[in-house]
Structure 1
C-alpha cells in the first residue's frame, strides 16, 4: 500500500490511469525514456497492477462500494431501513465493511474524511482584457487523513521504479496544478490485506477496458481522458471501480499523440473476489 499524506488539497481523487501516468512521467525525469519502457513492460506482462486512490482516515481505509450492494441493499438492511439511504449515497465504505459487502452481509458506513469545495477563480481575456468567473474543485482532507493506492506484483519493479517515482512526485504533485501547491504529499509504504470470499465473480478497484465485454456483470461507465506532454488524450470509456465482472485483466491502450514515442493508458483491472447476488444472475 502506498499512502499519500497530503500537504494540502488535491484537485481530485486520482484514478489508476492518472497515478500510472504520473509515475511513468516521474520515471522519465529520473532515468530516461528507456526505463519508462521497461516499467510499462512490467504492467503489460502482468508483473504488476495498481488500484485507483482511495481515502483513509487514521487507521480506517475506505474502498469503493461494490455495485452488487445496490441490488440487495433493502434486503441487507431490512432491520435498519434508516441506513438504506445512507448506504446508497456512499461511494466508499471502510475496509471491514467492504469485506462484508463482498460476502453480501450487512455492514456499517462511516463519514468520509474529505470534502469537495468550489474555489472561485477569475480568467482574463488576453485581447479584450475582460474578466470571467469560473470555479475550480478542490478536495480537502481532515487531520490524519489522506489517500492511498494498492500495488500488487513484482517487488523488484516496485522498489526500482515506483518508490523513487513517488518520492519525486511528493513535491511535484499528482492530479494537476502541482505548481499551485495542489496534489502534494508525503509518501509512506505499508501493508494492507483484503479478505476475499471464494467466488468466481470479481469487483474491480481500478477503471478498466475489458478484453471481453461479455465478462461484465454489473457495471457503470466513465469516460476518462487527460494530458500527456502537453497533448490532450481522447476520452476513453472505462468500467468504473466497484463494478462486477468475471475474470478479465483489462487492457493497456496505446495512443499515437504525434510524440516521439507511443503513449500508454493504464486500463487494467484490479480484481477482488466477490459474491454475486441472485438479482444479478440475469446480468451474467
Structure 2
C-alpha cells in the first residue's frame, strides 16, 4: 500500500501507536535518516472524531462513502443521530487541521459527491517504516546481514504501541489485528537474521519474552530452540519444545506443527547442520 506524504504541509501524522498529528519544523521532508523537527502535538478532538480521521487517513486519498464510513467507525448498530455526528466530526477535523497548518497549505477533507476524501495528510511513520524494511530486504539480498538487521531494528523501533491504539470501530480493530501480525512477521525475520549473525545469547533473552507473550506462535518457539541449541543449551531447547507441546495440548488439543516437530527431532539427533560452521563475515 503506497501512501502520499503529509510532511510537505508542515504536519506529521503517525499511526504506529496512538494516532497523533504533530507540527513539524519545516516545509521539506528530511526523511527517516535525519528525522523531522517535531513540534507540539495537535489536539484532534473526541475519540470518535479521531477514529473518523484514522479511517479516512488509511484510504490513501480515495473517497469513502457515508455508509462505509459509518460502518467503519460504528459498525452495524450506529446511534440514531449518526448522520449529525459524522457531520460534526468532519467539521471539527476541518477546523483542527486548518488551524494547525497555519500559513501553510492545509489538508483537505472534502465531500466529492460519492464520499468523503482526505488529501494532504498521510501516515508518515508507515511510509518511513516501509522504506526501512525495503532497504533491509535489499541489504539481506546483497549479503549485508548486519546492515539488514540494523535497518529492521530501526523499523521495529518506530512502533509506539498498537496500531491506532485506543480507537474503536470495526475497521480499525481489523487493521490493528492485521498490523499486529505483520509486526510479528517482521520481528521473526529480524531475529532469524540475528541468529545468522551468531547473536545467539542476545536472541535467547528476546525470544523468551516473545514466547511468553505469544505462547502458541510456533515460529517463535522454533527460533528460541535454535538460539538455545546454538548457544550450547540443548537441554533448554528440548525443554522449550516440551513446554510448547504442553501448551498446544492444553489450549488446542493437538501436537505442535510439523516444522516444530522436525526441529525437535534434529536436535535429538544433534544434526550437524544446526550449528553453522562460522558466523558470516561482516
- Do the two structures share a fold, i.e. TM-score over 0.5? no
Larger RCO: Structure 1 or Structure 2 (Cα < 8 Å, ≥ 6 residues apart)? Answer: 1
Q: TM-score, normalised by structure 2?
A: 0.26
* Larger Cα-atom Rg: 2
Q: TM-score, normalised by structure 1?
A: 0.26
